[in-house]
Structure 1
Amino acid sequence: MNQQHTNYSLKNRAKTFYFASLFFPNNLRTDIKVLYEFCRYVDDLGDDSKKRIKISRIKLKKIKNNLKICKSNNKIVSGLISICNKYNIKTSIPMHLVDGVLSDLDKVDFKNNSELIEYSYKVAGTVGIMMCSIMRVNNKKMKLRAVQLGIAMQLTNIARDIKEDLYRDRIYFPQQLRSHQTKDFKKLPSNKEIQTEFSKDLENFLNLADRIYRISWNGIIMLPIKFRVPIAVASFLYQSIGVKIRSSNYDIWNQRIYLNLSEKLVRTIKVFFKLVFDTKINKDKAMDEEIRSILNKFKLI
């Protein structure tokens, strides 16, 4: 992949995240853009064609080594290293992200929720931790909430992209959550009967994501107002994709579910009301402990 000819623009490549980023203070948007470009660059290497997997693996391992020595000739990677230095971010955090994408280059078929949550931490929760540093939020409980939000958002992405991922030989939807009829997962795109059965499994998966969104909200409402709004907007818009999947009768097979601009605007207005009126603490000790125990191995929180 030639990074010089790839457009990593927030506006063009991550429209929901770009929309939410407009609510950040001007002085932080440039650094957030650098972080996003790195994440997008790494993610794209994981999505290269099967013919390029060997090259992608070499590039990802090189990025990981660059992060380890805090030096790179790659403009995108060096930009991220500068951000790590500026905000005192441990380079082990983006290295976890690279590890997550490296795992995408092999056949993926998660067995249980633990594998799902660990992967989601690597490819999305890490972004939450790095965003905390950029926002100068160093409280450990707040970092846990940021990781939870990243995990919830990744679950939304997984739910939306099941068909696309299947064609890449990647099944992120864990066996633990599959009913008897959907054990043969690869038949889903072409078998309407199994799709109907799978709708129940997908509903349970979205419910899991919603549980994590709810406890992550406990962190959002504690943020300074200048950060509370953009993070709340990003959270609510992503969660709304799950709502739209439900309203489409779980038809992720014939369309890509996304929010158009008018839907984003309406939901953004709702976010402001939610921030004013939904200030209660959402308690879910079981989910908190489950995520914390899975993350213990990374010694983050």
Structure 2
Amino acid sequence: MMDPRDLEACTEAIRHGSLSFHAASKLLPKSVRDPALALYAFCRLADDEVDLKAEKVEAVLRLRDRLDLVYAGTPKDAAADRAFAAVVEQFDMPRALPDALLEGLAWDAEGRTYATLSGVKEYSARVASAVGAMMCVLMGVRDADALARACDLGVAMQLTNIARDVGEDALERRLYLPTDWLEEAGMTPESFFADPRPTKAVRAMVKRLVMEANRLYYRSEAGIGALPASCRPGIYAARFIYAGIGGRLTGMGYDSISARARTSKAQKLGWLAQSVAASATTSVMPQSAVLYAKPLPEVQFLVDAAAKGARASRSDSLFEALAALEAKRQSERATLIGTRARAT
């Protein structure tokens, strides 16, 4: 069982590091909220390790080792690791799900860009939908249709994050906009990094992301009715709060370079109230046929992993990503040694 002190540390990490999820989690039942906080704390730690560290390759490889220890039942002596190990054991968490997150972070460390919207969705599946699938496992939901809609929600949330952070990412020379969109506008990644401005073309790209996210938010709602009734308000809250960021971007004319889209505490409270009302309506309405829509092809592997519940070995694609990072690390070390040798 999870140590209460570890849970408190995870709660504090989420309170300061993920305001949207912290607000939404208040509507989850304690039996789901506590493991969800542990799950999100570990995922947040993983994301920050790669996003905020200069040595991104080393950060991903350290995370690989930490995840190995979690699944071996001997986690690193840190609150988030111990708490996540307890969650893995209690809920028999399929390893393919956190491995997918690790693969997405490996892609970040690699500096990968995505030629098409489908490629962006493949990335979003790993860094966001994998977490949505893990949340379903915490709720005891293994139905493939419900999992597909949870993955829709994850992709929608990540597309919203990407739309919101275009300017901030450009300053860090990170690009998540599909490169074929830039080509259509007569731009290259380098030209955009050199002069990131909210031009009409760039704002049109942000709008396309927001519109695609909205389509997936609507699709995801059909799956909320398939969740335990006590969990529905919390998931509706996540859906409304993140979609609210998209609404703020719309109000800003899709300019996510000049300023960051922010929502207020009052707005979040309003969305929490809306979530409770939507849950009550869902309980008396017939199930939407949208529930049975095919999964996005980019998330099918997550649906399969969560539905089958297998604690399988790592996928070939993850091995390839980690091997590429290992090779990159070795190359960087060899270059550093060569530079030092020439200096002496």
Give me the TM-score of the superposition, normalised by structure 2. 0.76
- 2:39 is aligned with 1:35: yes
Of 69, 72, 76, 1:73 maps to 76
In the other structure, the counterpart of 2:222 is 218
Question: 2:326 aligns to what?
Answer: none
2:219 maps to a residue whose letter is: I
Aligned partners of 1:296 and 1:266: how far apart in 2?
34
Identity score, percent:
24
Q: Which has the larger radius of gyration?
A: 2
Report what 1:155 is aligned to.
Answer: 159
Does 2:212 correspond to 1:208?
Answer: yes
> Which residue matches 1:25?
29
User: 1:92 Cα deviation (Å)?
Assistant: 2.2
Instruction: Write the distance in 2 (CA, Å) between the matches of 1:67 and 1:182.
Output: 47
1:55 equivalent in structure 2: 58
**In structure 2, how many angstroms separate the alpha carbons of the residues matched to 1:166 and 1:6?**
30
Secondary structure of 2:244's counterpart equals helix
Distance 1:105 1:74 in 2: 25
Q: Residue 235 in 1 paired to residue 242 in 2?
A: no
Structure 2 unpaired stretches of 5+: 1-8, 308-344
**1:296 CA displacement:** 3.9
Asked whether the equivalents of residues 126 and 150 of structure 1 are also in contact (C-alpha less than 8 Å), the reply is yes
Q: Which amino acid aligns with 2:51?
A: D
Q: Return the alpha-carbon distance in structure 1 between the equivalents of residues 142 and 199 of structure 2.
A: 44
1:150-171 Cα deviation digits (max 9, x unpaired): 1111111111111222233321
> Matches of 1:10 and 1:55 in 2, distance apart?
24
RMSD value, Cα: 2.7
Amino acid at match of 1:79: A
> In the alignment, does 2:288 pair up with 1:281?
yes
Q: Which amino acid is the alignment partner of residue 60 of structure 1?
A: L
8 A Cα contact 2:157 2:242, kept in partner? yes
Q: Distance in 2 between matches of 1:205 and 1:101?
A: 21
Aligned equivalents of 2:161 and 2:108: distance in 1?
A: 15
Whether the aligned pair in 2 keeps the contact of 1:48 and 1:56 (CA below 8 Å) is: no
1 or 2 for the larger relative contact order (CA 8 Å, sep ≥6)? 2
Change (3 A) 1:136 1:21: same
Structure 2 counterpart of 1:254, from 252, 258, 266: 258
* Unpaired segments ≥5 residues, structure 1: none
Instruction: Specify the SS of the correspondent of 1:171.
Output: coil
Aligned residues: 292
Instruction: Give deviations 1:251-271, integer Å, cap 9, x for gaps.
Output: 211221121101112233333
Instruction: For residues 48-102 of structure 1, give each alpha carbon's deviation from its aligned partner in whole angstroms, at most 9, with x where no partner exists.
Output: 343x224313312312433554432243233212201101211221111111111
